[in-house]
Structure formats: structure tokens, C-alpha cells
A = this chain, B = another copy of it.
């Protein structure tokens, strides 16, 4: 499965938040192997867009098709393909970096790759530090290091490089390229220009 073409197609999709339609009649195609970046002003609906793709939004009109099938027909199965990185970091302050990562790895059944994941974001030295002592960027990097573990096909990354230093951004870009080479899907919402070959969509 991993090296097959995958695609997400949106047809006339609208999505409301509260009583405002945030995403209005969007049609587009997201293909595997190519990075897809969403840009737009604050509050234009980038995060909403990603949440919609992850199946978290309820008030969705129109069709969203993953490999030809609506994502809502087999939602649980579809959602198993998704790696979603939200604006927050799902990190427990009292757990060390290692423990935090270990738990998420366990949930995915990938406990063996943790060392590698820590190395990917240069967190080996901080391995045993409780996460509450991490700086903001370090926390984000700990969250991002889940990417090095996951086997999921669709990566939805909401402002992944927020607060990261340049070096970390480069490392992230490398990983994304690798995933794309494996025919994965990557959708990123960001304000920062990344050095990636992209389809860009303006909300």
C-alpha cells in the first residue's frame, strides 16, 4: 500500500464554525508525493481545513474523497491513516521526553523507533528531563518527533515550524521529503515559507 498513489479530492466543500461559514465552496485535489501548503490570514480557516481533512469537523457540506471514497462512509478506517499535528502539543508536563514519546509510540505499536525519533529532533540529551522544563521550541520538537515514528500515510501539520530554529526546520523538511518520496500525503498550514516544492492554496 505504501508506495501506491493516494489522493484526496474535495468537491464544493464548505465548512462552518459557529454560525460563520469559514470554508466556502472549495474544490481541489491533493496528491501524494507532492507537498500541499495552505496559506491565508489569521482566522481564514487553515486550521479548520486541516481538522476537516482529519474528520474532526461536523458541519461539512460537499464531498471529500480519499482514493475515491468519501471519508465519512468509513470514517474510523480513514482516520487510521491520519497523522494530525495540532497547534497544541499533546505533552504531559510531568513526563520526561522519553516517556511522552513512548506513550504515543505504544499507541501506534512502534515502541522500537523511539531512540531514532529523539535523535531526529536532537532531543537525546533532554531525554530524561520532565517536559515542563523544555523551552517552547523544544516542546514543539518533541511533538514533531512523533513524525519519525509514525507509519501513517496522511500527514496534516498545523503550523509545524512555529517557534522552531532554522536547523530544526531543515531537519523537518528532510523528513517530509522522505515521506513524500514514499508516496505519502502531506498537508501543511503555515505562515512561514518552507524550502519545499509545493502546491500552495490560498484560503
Interface residues of A (CB under 8 A from B): 17-18, 40-43, 46-47, 87, 126, 129, 133-138, 140-141, 159, 162-168, 191-192
Contacts and interface: CB of A to CB of B under 8 A. Distances in A.
Q: How many copies does the complex hold?
A: 2
A159 B136 contact: yes
- The secondary structure that dominates the A interface is loop
A135 B135 CA distance: 23
A140 B78 CA distance: 33
A17 B41 CA distance: 37
A166 B138 contact: no
B191 A42 contact: no
Contacts of A141: 42
Contact of A42 (B18, B43, B129, B137): B137
Nearest to A166: B191
